[in-house]
Structure 1
Amino acid sequence: MRATELSEMAAFAAVARHKSFRKAGEERGVTASAISHAVLNLEDRIGIRLLNRTTRSVSLTEAGELLRSHLDPAFGEINSALDALNRFRDTPFGRVRINVGNSIAPFVVGQVIGPLLMKNPNLQLEIAATDRLVDIVEEGFDAGIRFGERVTEGMIAVRIKPRTRLVVVGSPAYFETRTKPDTPHDLKRHICIQNMFPSGARYPWDFERGGQAITFHPTGPLSLDDHELMTAAALSGVALAYVWEGRVAPLIASGQLIQVLDEWCQPEEPLYLYYPSRRHISAGFRTVIEAIRGD
């Protein structure tokens, strides 16, 4: 098999995974038009249509589905063989792609990236931060980072270092005309930001102290799905925010935000790095795991 034919099939496999020429191009490090050209060449060469294309979507034909079912395990074996060569090198090499929630990414991997790449100059680390739940296998990631209850069944999960919590904060200006809440029940008298998932679903503010659990559902006029925006809104004095402690700790220390209900804000479940159980572990991926895993 010629190298061009292998490259064309790799381009098709990437499109089949992502259902997108743009995302396939990002994965392969080329333009979307180059991916499209490669797939067209493959279709012309074999005389079979593999993809249905519209201006808004890409889907597989029956023949495309069949080819993908054979290519996925084949390319998996090739990648495993290449990964196995890591043991013959002094340092890990290659690309490791990780998906992590946008709201927790800065304090989960922020302090790890620099030392990791300095020690492993042949490692290529790609981190995609989004609070959207993704299928890491479908979208071509080596691993994901999420809380335990959101890890897909059947994955290997490795507990990692950070254990953070959500805290309630407001600006000094906000509290100039309002009394600080003593218990979560007092939040009913306050303007509180509604926390959203990217899907639009709201999630409550959960509290616990001494075995007593309280769930509060904000009904304020502002709904946000990004913790940076929530923090900005709290800084402006418009409302109270329920955000990751790691994101606002410097602002609390400087006095720009005031934390309330501290005793009611309990640590969250531990974070986990997770990956498919059938995946061959490369030296590069193993190095990433060791850099961020907990004790």
Structure 2
Amino acid sequence: MELPPIQELHAFQQVAKHLSFSKAAEALSISPSTLSHLIRSLEERLQTRLFNRTTRSVSLTESGQRFFTQVNQVLNHLKGAINNLSAEKDQPQGLVRLSVNEVVAGFVLDKLNADFAAQYPDIELDISVDNHLIDIVSEGFDAGIRLKNTIPQDMIAVSMMTNFRFVTVASKHYVQTYGEPKTPQDLLRHNCLGYKFQSGRRYEWEYKNGNDIQTLRTRGSITTNSPAILLKAVNDNLGIAMIAEPLIRHELESQQLVRLLEPWTIDWPDLYVYFPKNRNMPTALRAVIDALKA
């Protein structure tokens, strides 16, 4: 079969990303009717229906999803190759899409700050916060940020932060009212605010002091999959929580929150930025990765 024209493939990529003909047409700077013609021509050429369309929604068919996973990667590689041709004479520019979880979103912004924006004024960042593990290639992201042990093996991973720890904290008011736990077992007498995984399982709190390792199934009045809700509940004096240290750096420095069980700690896997193996990496993505690993 003869390869479809690049215009048709690019049109398909944008509609698949946006799941909207109007938004895709705007992104391509063409009319919706021209876009519809390109998609219809591609489907006829491939003899395959790629989208399910109604007056209210657009979705990929099963065949369309498989096609998008492969075509999206190819087109991104092609775009990267073209961008790299002018890398020596042009300032890094373009859109860089990052997938991060809520725990590290603030830390990412600390790295990609005003100084970064001033150095690279032509780089646009699209930072998507999602606590679910996703396939960054099929979802159209350039890179993701996760703990090392959750990254697919076929990705390139670059260390972004070592000794990424979760710490046990409570507000001063809570400690003054209910007392301070001295050992992990003391937590069983406190209101421990819990975090649940995507599967719905509540996280078990783990502690280590020398050779003594303890794992607790704590209980509390609130369980959530949102670190932001967990942090607000702690600040509102509702109980004790285990929260990622970077997320509460300011609260700890201002002593708004109190560290508990200091001798009892467990280091988590390092935090990494990861991305697909791509010999022609866009210069904008390279600038972002360099800033994150600095």
TM-score, structure 1 length as denominator? 0.83
Structure 2 residue ranges without an equivalent (≥5)? none
- In structure 1, the residue matched to 2:60 is 59
Paired with 1:251 and 1:151, the residues of 2 have a C-alpha distance of: 30
- In structure 1, the residue matched to 2:101 is 101
Paired with 2:22 and 2:267, the residues of 1 have a C-alpha distance of: 40
Paired with 1:7 and 1:104, the residues of 2 have a C-alpha distance of: 38
Alpha-carbon distance, 1:43 to partner: 4.2
Change (3 A) 1:11 1:102: farther
Paired with 1:84 and 1:77, the residues of 2 have a C-alpha distance of: 10
Paired with 1:69 and 1:231, the residues of 2 have a C-alpha distance of: 37
Structure 1 residue ranges without an equivalent (≥5)? none
Q: What SS does the corresponding residue of 2:177 show, helix, strand or coil?
A: coil
Change (3 A) 1:214 1:92: same
Paired with 1:198 and 1:69, the residues of 2 have a C-alpha distance of: 24
Q: Please, which moves more after superposition, 34-43 or 176-185?
A: 34-43
Change (3 A) 1:279 1:240: farther
Change (3 A) 1:60 1:218: same
Change (3 A) 1:74 1:124: same
Q: What SS does the corresponding residue of 2:137 show, helix, strand or coil?
A: coil
Q: What SS does the corresponding residue of 1:202 show, helix, strand or coil?
A: coil
Question: Is the Cα–Cα contact under 8 Å of residues 109 and 292 in structure 1 kept in the other structure?
Answer: no
Alpha-carbon distance, 1:59 to partner: 2.9
Paired with 1:12 and 1:119, the residues of 2 have a C-alpha distance of: 34
Change (3 A) 1:77 1:270: closer
Paired with 2:252 and 2:138, the residues of 1 have a C-alpha distance of: 40
Matched, 1:21 2:19: yes
Paired with 1:177 and 1:29, the residues of 2 have a C-alpha distance of: 59
Paired with 2:211 and 2:232, the residues of 1 have a C-alpha distance of: 33
The RMSD of aligned alpha carbons is: 3.1
Paired with 1:239 and 1:38, the residues of 2 have a C-alpha distance of: 58
Using the aligned pairs only, state the percent identity. Answer: 29
TM-score, structure 2 length as denominator? 0.83
Matched, 1:114 2:114: yes
- In structure 1, the residue matched to 2:197 is 197
Question: Is the Cα–Cα contact under 8 Å of residues 86 and 283 in structure 1 kept in the other structure?
Answer: no
Paired with 1:59 and 1:44, the residues of 2 have a C-alpha distance of: 14
CA offsets per residue over residues 72-115 of structure 1, 9 Å max, x none? 46524531332222423242112211111111110233243322
Q: What SS does the corresponding residue of 1:193 show, helix, strand or coil?
A: strand
Q: Please, which moves more after superposition, 246-255 or 153-162?
A: 246-255
Report the count of equivalent residues: 284
Alpha-carbon distance, 1:36 to partner: 7.2
- In structure 2, the residue matched to 1:128 is 128
- In structure 2, the residue matched to 1:42 is 38
Change (3 A) 1:203 1:279: farther
